Structure formats: C-alpha cells, structure tokens
Structure 1
C-alpha cells in the first residue's frame, strides 16, 4: 500500500516540485500525495487555513506522514502545541521544511519563532534550503537540518524576453506584507520599470507598469528582459523569486535580512543592500550592472536527486509510523 503524505500545502509550486509527476517512475507509485482539503467551495484553490494542521483532521488517520512547508502562522501557541501532541500520540511522523526563519507575512516574529521551535522539536526530519539557514537553525534551536537547494521554477523551458533588455526592474505584484511600501525607497532606487498588479491601489501608485496578473510564461519573459531585478523585502529568509531570476540569467539585488545571499548559484550575480534603503539598493544595482550578466549554474545535486530524497524519506518514515501504530 502506498505511503500517504499530507503536504501543507500540496498545491503550492514548491511542494509540487519536490515530488515526481504521476506515473513518472514506478518507484513513485509507493507514494500518494493527498490533495489539499477544500476550505471554501466558492474558492476551491485556497488551501489556507489548512485542515491538516487541526488535530481533528487526524482522527481517522488519513495520512501516514505530515510534511509542513508553510501556512501555520495563524495557529496560536496552544494550538501549535496541541498539533505536536496529536502527532506524537498517534505516531504520525513530521517532516518540516524551514523555508522561513522569519515569516514574511507577519511583522512581529515573537510568536512565529516560538511556533517554529515547537514544530522543530517535534519534527522527525528537518529540511532547509541553504547552509546559512541550517546554521541558524542549529544555533537557535539545537537541531541539524538537511540542506536541499530550491527546486527549479523555470526548468528547461526556453524563455524569450518580451521586450528589449532593460537595466533594472522591480516586481511588486499585489504587495506582500514584507514588501517596502515607502515611495521614497523607489524614488531613490530609480529602477527603469516597477511592475504592480492593478488590483492593489497602494502598489499601483508606486509602479510604472500596472498590469493584470501574468501567467508563468508572461512573467518569465518579463523578468528575462531585465539585467537586474530588485527584491524589495524587509524580512523573510529564502526567495522563489531569486531562484526564478537566476534560472533566467538575471542578477538580483537582495536585502541583507534572511539568507537570500546564500541562495546565489554564482556569488557575483547576487548583491546585498541594506533592507529598506533605496540608495543602497541603487548602489547594489550599479555594481551588478558593472559586472555584467552570469549564466545560471545548476546546483551539484540534481532535481531528480531532490525528488528521490523526499520519496525515500516519506517511505521510510511512513513505514516506521505504520509499524508504531
């Protein structure tokens, strides 16, 4: 019988990228990745708040392994303790990938750090994306984390720029909570293009290019038309945007918070600036433009190795969990 994995969330691009597509290999038939429970029938794609984080979800033992990536910050400390106690009582193995040592969606990190400590203590296996993050986990929580690089986002697709190459761009979308909102930052930065979604008046006011959400191909071609992209963040730890930019051969100016710098495939292609400082971000962009562009260098571990690692881990933990029941 296949090992059933509840991935929180299953529908996010990252968790989807670390498991094989259905039927890709016979070995991957050992796994069943459960779909995210429908939270709202009127919005079926919304997975949050995820039901697998509720102790009641586990009453009938619908999965053999729980793998948490994101989306637990809505829990109280009491609820986080209750989840950990439920998993321990039912012998449900927990895999935790620490994407965010600092949560980009919340301003005060105190409760989030405590939640992370509870889950890290309960986890049967810890994963993170960079050596810098692993060192911080060891220092703060006394646990060793297995380092696996960010999986490919663009992959082997051929991407053509949508218009002639531009020096510096910023993509605000609808404005996550960790994005700089101060107009002075963008005036000091002086980017050639600032993109924002039309559904956010606050972000649109900062933008030179207001648009509807792009599909993947539109987004990739828009990013590929820049020499440098700025990540305008004030907190966070890792970035799928940085990964995406580097796969497209675009250099990145990233803030000095988190572990963004340690995601660099080529150190010269990522320049750090003081978070929230537009003048320093402009200087970082100037340094990157002076160096020229660098082709993306794939990590030494292949994407297939990452997929195999997760499959073997799920099967091992799931089989151990079944025997403990």
Structure 2
C-alpha cells in the first residue's frame, strides 16, 4: 500500500535499461537492479519465493515488468503473479514483444504474455497495431527517442547499410540473402551495400561467403568490435537508408535510433515495425526473408531521399513520462 507523503517506489524490471530509464517520471523512484555477475537478469523478484521473504516495509508500490522473463515457465509466471497478489502489490506490464525475437517456437512466450496481461492492473504496448492483438484496455505509449546528441552530418548520409552486429538468432544470417540483396541494390543505385558485422566467429561464414561480392564492388564488409554509442550513431548517420534484417519480433529500438538520425528504414512485415514510424515516408515494408523485396524497399527509400524525424522528440518524451506517472498513480490508487 502506498505510503502518504512518500514518492512512488516502483520495482521496474529492469530499471537501468536505456528504455526504462528514459520513460521514468522524475518524481518516481525505481528500485535498483540487482547485480548478478554484472547483469540484472534473471531478476530475483520474478521468483515467487522472493516476495514471501520481503519485509512489509520494503514492498514497492507496484511492479512494472518490461522484459527479462524468458527463463520463466508458464507455471512460474502464474506463481509470480499470485505472489504479487498475496502481498498486495499491483502489476503493470508493457508488452514490448508479442513475438519474442530470440525464439523460433512462440507458443510458450504467447502463453506467458497472456498470463501476465490477465494478471496486470494495467497493460501497455508501443503501437496501435500491437494493441489490437492484445485485450481491450491496452494503452499505447510510444517508444521514446534513443539519440539525444546526434553526430555532425546527421541527415546527410549517402550509404545503403545493414547492421548485423553479432548475428543474434532473429537476424537473417544466410549469406545468399545478402548476395542477392547487394547485387540488386548495386544494379539499381550503383552503390555497394554496406554490411556492418562484429568481429567474432559468428561472422566468419558471411565474411568468407561474400568475399567475391566485396571484390566485385557489390558489397562493403565493415568488420569491427562492438561500437560505443557515439561511434554507432555516426556509422548509422553515414547511411541514407538501412535494412532492419529481422526475421521475427515486434518492436525495435534500433528503428527508433535510425529515425532519430533521419535515416529511413526498410522493415520486415513480421512485426509492428511499420507502426512505429513517425512519418510513413520514413519506412518501407518488405516481405520477411525476401532479398529482392528488401532490395526494392531500400531502393524506394534511397530514391525518396532523406526524411527527417517528424515531430518533437523532447515534447514526446515529456508526454511519455507524464503518461507513465498518471498510470502509476491510477494503479496505486485502486
């Protein structure tokens, strides 16, 4: 139960993530993330036993769950929600991933999302398209800005890029996809497809397989260590348009970063990515896993030219924080 005169104490799972830190209202305190070998996951508060041992005076006003529950089974998810109910702590859930980008079989993930939403005092998501797949009453609060200090030259990039990073399981890793894509882009625009890859064993297959295309000028393979944010933002800003190379998922902070930098994005039709767009001209949808359709989308965007972010990101962030503040107060007041 909320204590009068005390600012709201929220257990956000997680608290220190760039997204959750951004949306936190200034007059709300997030309880600190645990340090588990340098990480916050798996968060111990997702275990029913953690709540049974927590003293009454240490109870938060509410729990806001964003992500990090992948390790739970459906039964453990129920146990978590029941433990919160027994302690009188309301649950708020933001559904970032209707489909978990790191899983091929979505059945268990869908079940856990349903259980969490059913148990929640309030549930949110990031786009209207996602809300239409969730129960009535789902509130939509958009993703906030990612880039607060754009690098010089933002909005004047000329490259056509794709950032594969460390080739996580939701990223298309088939070299044939990029060979076909790169050749189609080069034929239409006379520009190589710039492929960014982290320097690790996962990238070795693509680097070897695409060597001839790089020699022919169809592709540029940029292999590097993970970039600090300023370096990453400069690399993205050097592009006029980029491909989001996902084969499943729902929403994307990467897309938001690109749009902060005025870069247009070819997005797959597997998620709600198109619905995140600040300006419909800033994205072009393509069939997931189809290299020729991805090339068509990139070519269309490139020829369309630069599309600056439409709207006021500072005002949007103020509204996002105000929406979270209002929601928290409403939930605690029940």
Band of TM-score, shorter chain: 0.7 to 0.9
For the residue of structure 2 that corresponds to 1:66, the secondary structure is: strand
1:186 aligns with 2:186: no
Alpha-carbon separation, structure 2, partners of 1:2 and 1:266: 37
For the residue of structure 1 that corresponds to 2:235, the secondary structure is: helix
User: Structure 1: which 4+ aligned runs deviate by more than 4 Å?
Assistant: none
**Contact 2:141 / 2:323 at 8 angstroms: preserved in 1?**
no
Aligned to 2:163: 171
1:150 aligns with 2:147: no
Alpha-carbon separation, structure 2, partners of 1:48 and 1:299: 34
Deviates more, 1:225-234 or 1:11-20: 11-20
For the residue of structure 2 that corresponds to 1:113, the secondary structure is: helix
Alignment of 1:267-282 (within 5 A): 267-282=280-295
Alpha-carbon separation, structure 1, partners of 2:9 and 2:228: 31
For the residue of structure 2 that corresponds to 1:108, the secondary structure is: coil
Deviation track 1:119-164 (CA, whole Å, cap 9, x = no partner) reads: 0100111111111001111xxxx33211111111113x231249x8
1:204 deviates by 4.7
Alignment of 1:221-300 (within 5 A): 221-298=234-311
Alpha-carbon separation, structure 2, partners of 1:161 and 1:206: 30
Deviation track 1:73-100 (CA, whole Å, cap 9, x = no partner) reads: 2101110110111112222111110111
**Contact 1:196 / 1:204 at 8 angstroms: preserved in 2?**
no
Q: Which segments of 5 or more consecutive residues in structure 1 lack a partner in the other structure?
A: 21-27, 321-325
Aligned to 1:5: 10
Deviation track 1:55-84 (CA, whole Å, cap 9, x = no partner) reads: 122231542211111111210111011011
Deviation track 1:188-242 (CA, whole Å, cap 9, x = no partner) reads: 11152111111x3223543511111111111111100001111100000000011
Aligned to 1:311: 325
Computing the radius of gyration from Cα coordinates, the structure with the larger value is: 2
- Pick the aligned partner of 1:81 from 60, 69, 78: 78
Aligned to 1:206: 206
Alpha-carbon separation, structure 2, partners of 1:117 and 1:230: 31
TM-score when scaled to structure 2?
Answer: 0.86
- Pick the aligned partner of 1:49 from 29, 42, 48: 42
Alpha-carbon separation, structure 1, partners of 2:33 and 2:112: 22
Deviation track 1:303-324 (CA, whole Å, cap 9, x = no partner) reads: 111112212322343354xxxx
**Contact 2:123 / 2:139 at 8 angstroms: preserved in 1?**
yes
Q: 1:260 to 1:309 in 2, by over 3 A?
A: same
For the residue of structure 1 that corresponds to 2:301, the secondary structure is: helix
RMSD over aligned CA atoms reads: 1.8
Alpha-carbon separation, structure 2, partners of 1:221 and 1:268: 22
1:247 deviates by 1.0
Alpha-carbon separation, structure 2, partners of 1:12 and 1:319: 27
TM-score when scaled to structure 1?
Answer: 0.88
Alpha-carbon separation, structure 1, partners of 2:44 and 2:329: 23
Alpha-carbon separation, structure 1, partners of 2:35 and 2:293: 44
- Pick the aligned partner of 1:19 from 24, 29, 41: 24
Alpha-carbon separation, structure 1, partners of 2:150 and 2:108: 43
**Contact 1:166 / 1:192 at 8 angstroms: preserved in 2?**
no
Deviation track 1:87-118 (CA, whole Å, cap 9, x = no partner) reads: 12222111110111000011100000000000
